[in-house]
Structure 1
Amino acid sequence: MLETERALEVGPRCRESVLVGVVDVGLLAGLILFGQLSHGLNPIAEPIGALETILPFLIGWIIAAPLAGVYAQAALASPWLGARVTAVGWLAAANVGFVLRSSPAFEGGIAWAFPLVMSGFGLIVLVGWRIGYATAAGD
């Protein structure tokens, strides 16, 4: 097999990273939508508002997670390494999201408690899921 063909080959490890990434994004979107519902907002009635709330954090996650090594094979296989890099990735992503959300590019701004709540619940959801996944998928 040529080197180029090998580089383009999608193996099980790549599929695993994509699957985990899709679940990560789904959990983040679900967390934000749950928050909107708990504040009396209806994401179905106001889909643009829901998207404007989700998008800054997804942008942050797409930037920070790979840089933190969240999708590296070692992080996917080890519950504790996965927890550490996911926590670092989420805290970085959340801060990118807070900066974007408080910018004029996105409507809504940030109340003082929002970073605490979002950082805390994001850590619980993402780190909890990743520990569970790595434990279940471990050898």
Structure 2
Amino acid sequence: MGTSNSSFLDERLDAGAAPLAVGDFLALAGVLTFGVVNHNGVDYLSAEPVGWILTLVPFLLGWAVFGTLIGAYSAGAAETAKSAIPLAIRGWIPGSVLGLGLRASPLFEGGFAVVFAVVIVVTGLVALVGWRWLYFKLFA
């Protein structure tokens, strides 16, 4: 438990983890965009930019919520791949479930399919784990 002077978010957000955050969001946006292009063609990105963005939002929101709650951007997360990668895994699994729930709701188009759920969980994990591993190999 933290001190009375620190808030819940203060313990889970550290400026030193900002490069991880930028890379995480780019990695997830990239893998999601790849899926959009795979299903709709590259012209969809310029013809339907709102549709493209609305495809990404539920999953990026899910990651933002659970990545933060799990501590994927805490001071410890930015120290080593050994700490950063498990935090990403623990944050993405519930984050992707939230994203899938939002996508299945009337707020977003897309609905729900079990195959898509498996694909989004696995590809998101590959993107996050791959990015974080690369970050610590090249930059840390």
1:112: which partner in 2?
114
Deviations 1:102-139 (A, max 9, x none): 0011112123211101110111110111122234444x
Gaps of 5+ in 1: 1-12
1:39 partner amino acid: H
Instruction: Please state whether the residue corresponding to 2:45 is helix, strand or coil.
Output: coil
Larger of the two Rg values belongs to structure: 1
What is the TM-score normalised by the length of structure 1?
0.82
Q: 1:77·1:137 contact (CA, 8 Å) conserved in 2?
A: no
2:94 partner amino acid: A
Distance (whole Å) between structure 1 residues aligned to residue 18 and residue 135 of structure 2: 14
Deviations 1:38-61 (A, max 9, x none): 113422211111111101011111
Give, in angstroms, the shift of residue 90 of structure 1.
0.8
Distance (whole Å) between structure 1 residues aligned to residue 134 and residue 71 of structure 2: 18
Answering whether residue 35 of structure 2 is matched by residue 25 of structure 1, we say: no
Q: Number of paired residues?
A: 125
Answering whether residue 36 of structure 2 is matched by residue 36 of structure 1, we say: yes
Determine what percentage of the aligned residue pairs are the same residue.
35
2:72: which partner in 1?
70
Q: 1:60·1:93 contact (CA, 8 Å) conserved in 2?
A: yes
The one of 44, 54, 57 aligned to 1:52: 54
RMSD across aligned C-alpha pairs, in angstroms? 1.5
Distance (whole Å) between structure 2 residues aligned to residue 125 and residue 30 of structure 1: 8
Higher RCO (C-alpha 8 Å, min separation 6):
2
Gaps of 5+ in 2: 1-13
